[in-house]
Chains A and B, each alone.
Chain A
Amino acid sequence: MTAAAITLFVTLFILLFSRIPVAAALGLTSFVYIFYFTTIPLTQIPETLFNALNSFPMAAIPLFVLAATVMSHGGISNRLIKAGLAAVGQFRGGLAITTVISCIFFAAISGSSPATVVAVGTLMIPAMINSGYGKDFSTGLVATSGSLGILIPPSIPLIVYGIATEQSIGDLFLAGLVPGLLAGVMLLLMVLVVSRRRGYGTGEGAITMTREEKIQAMRDSILSLLLPAIVLGGIYGGFFTPTEAAAMAVFYSLIVSVFVYRELSVKSLGEVLLKSSRMSAMIMFIIANGILFSFVLTAERIPGQVTEAMMAMDLEPWTFLLLVTAILLIAGCFMETSSAILIFAPIFFPIAIELGINPVHLGIIMVMNLEIGMLTPPLGFNLFVASGLSGMSVLRVAKAVIPSAAVLLVALLLVTFIPEISLLLVDG
Chain B
Amino acid sequence: MSMLNSVLSKLENVLAAGSLAAAAALAILQVLLRTLFGQVLFWSEEAIIYLVISATFFGAVIALRHNEHVSVDILSTLLKERGRRVLGYVAVLLTLFYFGVIGWFAWVLMFEPSSRLTNTPALDLPLWVVMLPVPIGFTLLFLRTAEILGRMLRGRDPYPEAAETLLQAEGGAPLDKSQLEPDEPDDPDGERLATDQPGEGNKENDR
Contact = CB atoms under 8 A, between A and B. Distances in A.
A45 B131 CA distance: 13
A49 B171 contact: no
Interface in A323-358: 334-336
A390 B180 CA distance: 8
B140 interface: no
A56 B19 CA distance: 15
**Of listed A19, A239, A335, A399, residue having the most chain B CB within 10 A:** A19
Nearest to B94: A20
A148 B98 CA distance: 35
A53 B49 contact: yes
B31 A240 contact: yes
B4 interface: no
Given A19-B88, A49-B134, A274-B13, A31 B71 contact: no
B52 A62 contact: yes
Interface in B174-201: 174-177, 179-181, 183-184, 187, 189-190, 193-194, 196-198, 200-201
A47 B197 CA distance: 51
A413 to B, nearest CB: 7
Among B90, B106, B190, the one with the most A-chain Cβ atoms within 10 Å of its Cβ is B190
A250 interface: yes
Given A43-B109, A277-B20, A388-B165, A24 B98 contact: yes
Nearest to A244: B31
Interface residues of A, number: 101
A251 B29 CA distance: 10
A69 B21 CA distance: 13
A22 B134 CA distance: 18
Q: Which of A279, A281, A385, A406 gathers the greatest number of chain B CB atoms within 10 Å?
A: A281
Interface string A380-405: 01001100111110001001101110
A19 B175 CA distance: 29
Contacts of B69: 21-24, 282, 285
Nearest to A408: B201
Nearest to A386: B167
B98 A50 contact: no
Q: Is the interface of A mostly helix, strand, loop or mixed?
A: helix
B76 A278 contact: no
Interface stretch (A80-88, A97-105, A127-135, A207-215): A127-135
B37 interface: no
A145 to B, nearest CB: 15
A193 B201 CA distance: 12
Interface in B7-51: 13, 16-17, 19-21, 23-24, 27-28, 30-32, 35, 45, 48-49
A118 interface: yes
Contacts, number: 298
Contacts of B88: 19
Interface stretch (A10-18, A150-158, A298-306, A418-426): A10-18
Interface in A225-281: 239-240, 243-244, 246-248, 250-251, 270, 273-281
A223 interface: no
Contact of B193 (A17, A130, A403): A403
Contacts of B106: 43, 46
A149 B145 CA distance: 33
Contact of A18 (B23, B45, B90, B174): B90
A137 to B, nearest CB: 6
A403 B196 contact: yes
A126 B105 contact: no
A285 B55 contact: no
Contacts of B16: 274, 277-278, 281
Contact of A400 (B77, B138, B190): B190
A359 B181 CA distance: 47
A220 interface: no
Nearest to B50: A54
Contact of A59 (B52, B92, B105, B112): B52
A126 B175 contact: yes
Given A126-B180, A190-B197, A247-B28, A281 B55 contact: yes
A169 interface: no
A381 B179 CA distance: 24
A239 B31 CA distance: 10
Contact of B60 (A22, A28, A198, A282): A282
Contact of B91 (A18, A247, A270): A18
B193 A20 contact: no
B108 A43 contact: yes
Interface of A: 14-25, 27-28, 31, 42-43, 45-47, 49-50, 53-56, 58-59, 62-63, 66, 69, 72-73, 114-115, 118, 121-122, 125-126, 129-130, 134-137, 140, 186, 190, 193-194, 198, 239-240, 243-244, 246-248, 250-251, 270, 273-282, 284-286, 288, 334-336, 378-379, 381, 384-385, 388-392, 396, 399-400, 402-404, 406-407, 409-410, 413
26 contacts: A14-B75, A21-B70, A24-B69, A24-B99, A31-B98, A46-B135, A49-B102, A55-B49, A59-B48, A114-B166, A114-B170, A122-B172, A125-B175, A126-B179, A135-B189, A137-B193, A244-B31, A246-B27, A250-B24, A277-B58, A278-B63, A336-B72, A388-B165, A403-B194, A407-B201, A409-B201
Considering the complex of A and B, which 7 residue pairs feature the smallest CB-CB distances, nearest first?
A: A281-B59, A403-B197, A388-B167, A247-B27, A134-B189, A21-B69, A136-B190
Given A46-B102, A135-B184, 17 more contacts: A14-B75, A18-B87, A19-B88, A31-B98, A43-B112, A46-B135, A50-B134, A63-B24, A135-B189, A137-B193, A247-B28, A275-B171, A284-B56, A403-B194, A403-B196, A403-B200, A407-B204
